[in-house]
A and B are shown apart, each in its own frame.
Chain A
């Protein structure tokens, strides 16, 4: 019984960690929420794909709300070379993060 409880606690901890991994699928609503920026849903999808593939080569993904929206372009830019990101790919990642933040996630 004690082992089962330990296992359940461990699973709960892992699920709690999992929630900070949340990188929502890009949707038209998300594209529409990016006020003042002309971003299509395809760009957001590409940004999400790049975020979950390139960034985790070096580090795990932080919660997107961990940093201020205005800090994200510099954060991504500082690691763009290391992740072999072209300027358009870097912009797609930033657009995706800003879109996620704009929808309050």
Chain B
């Protein structure tokens, strides 16, 4: 137990110290949406995600998910990312546990620019694998910048296989809409809206629809940024999170 705590303390220290040594970063205006512009060629950035979800409408349960991602700009229009590890801490009335979930590779190709073209478009592909878990995800990212206002739309199609022998499977279609207004070059505020359709066993018999909506705020300075979104469920799906709070902080090398 002491050993585990020591490792955890070292990880926290590492995450606190790294920003001081870093020197470059892009910035996110949203946490549940991706933006069309890709990273500059040659840039390397470390992003850390923390997502807290609480469900109360079946039994109260909390989950805090962590992701550690490195993002590499390959060309002016292409970026690659590696999710080293997705892991989580879950707690309900009877137990709590840490667990490793998966690791992933993500590729984004930018097709058009959100400033000079009618709409900025990018395509996204991700393959994620872990213990008894395989997931494929693709996205179409559309963005338009109107002066200090950014409008962003993501259409996501995902397929997931889980459990022993990857026998359980489900599909998910998600559309997400975001707006962010830049109050100053360092601070933006906005809204994010998610609309999910879940298809257990590739079927739509259960008609699972989830809607989440909430505000976000982003702050960036020199080599780092931090963006926070807090979304509440606008539907009433049993077992689904009542709210999700996601923080992404990133810094570059």
A residues touching B (Cβ–Cβ < 8 Å)?
14, 16-21, 23, 52-54, 56-63, 81-85
30 A-B residue pairs with CB within 8 Å: A14-B146, A17-B147, A17-B149, A20-B147, A20-B148, A21-B145, A23-B115, A52-B115, A53-B37, A53-B113, A56-B145, A57-B26, A57-B37, A57-B38, A57-B39, A58-B25, A58-B27, A58-B220, A59-B27, A59-B220, A60-B145, A60-B150, A60-B182, A61-B115, A61-B145, A81-B23, A84-B24, A84-B41, A84-B42, A85-B40
Which residues on the A side are within 8 Å of B115 (C-beta)? 21, 23, 52, 56, 61
Q: Is the interface of A mostly helix, strand, loop or mixed?
A: loop
**Least CB distance, B209 to chain A, in whole angstroms:** 25
**Of A21, A23, A82, which is within 8 A of B25 by CB?**
A82
**B116 and A52: CB pair below 8 A?**
yes
**A56 and B185: CB pair below 8 A?**
no
Docked Cα-Cα span, A56 to B145, in Å, equals 9
Beyond the given A21-B147, A23-B116, A84-B42, please list 7 additional residue pairs across the A-B interface where CB-CB is below 8 A. A21-B115, A53-B37, A53-B113, A57-B38, A59-B220, A84-B40, A84-B41
**Least CB distance, B182 to chain A, in whole angstroms:** 5
Contact with A along B26-68 (1 / 0, CB 8 A): 1100000000011111110000000000000000000000000
Which residues on the A side are within 8 Å of B116 (C-beta)? 23, 52
- Judge if B178 is at the interface, Cβ distance under 8 Å: no
**B149 and A56: CB pair below 8 A?**
no
Which residues on the B side are within 8 Å of A21 (C-beta)? 115, 145-147
B residues touching A (Cβ–Cβ < 8 Å)?
23-27, 37-43, 73, 76, 113-116, 145-150, 182, 185, 220, 222-223, 225, 252
Which residues on the A side are within 8 Å of B150 (C-beta)? 60
**Of A18, A56, A84, which is within 8 A of B37 by CB?**
A56
**B114 and A18: CB pair below 8 A?**
no
**Least CB distance, B211 to chain A, in whole angstroms:** 22
**Least CB distance, B148 to chain A, in whole angstroms:** 5
**Least CB distance, B47 to chain A, in whole angstroms:** 13
**Least CB distance, B112 to chain A, in whole angstroms:** 11
**B113 and A18: CB pair below 8 A?**
no
Which residues on the B side are within 8 Å of A85 (C-beta)? 40
**B182 and A57: CB pair below 8 A?**
no
Docked Cα-Cα span, A62 to B26, in Å, equals 17
**Least CB distance, A13 to chain B, in whole angstroms:** 8
**Of A18, A57, A59, A61, which is within 8 A of B40 by CB?**
A57
**A60 and B24: CB pair below 8 A?**
no
**B76 and A53: CB pair below 8 A?**
yes
Chain B, Cβ-Cβ closest to A59 = B185
Most buried by B among A16, A52, A62, A85: A52
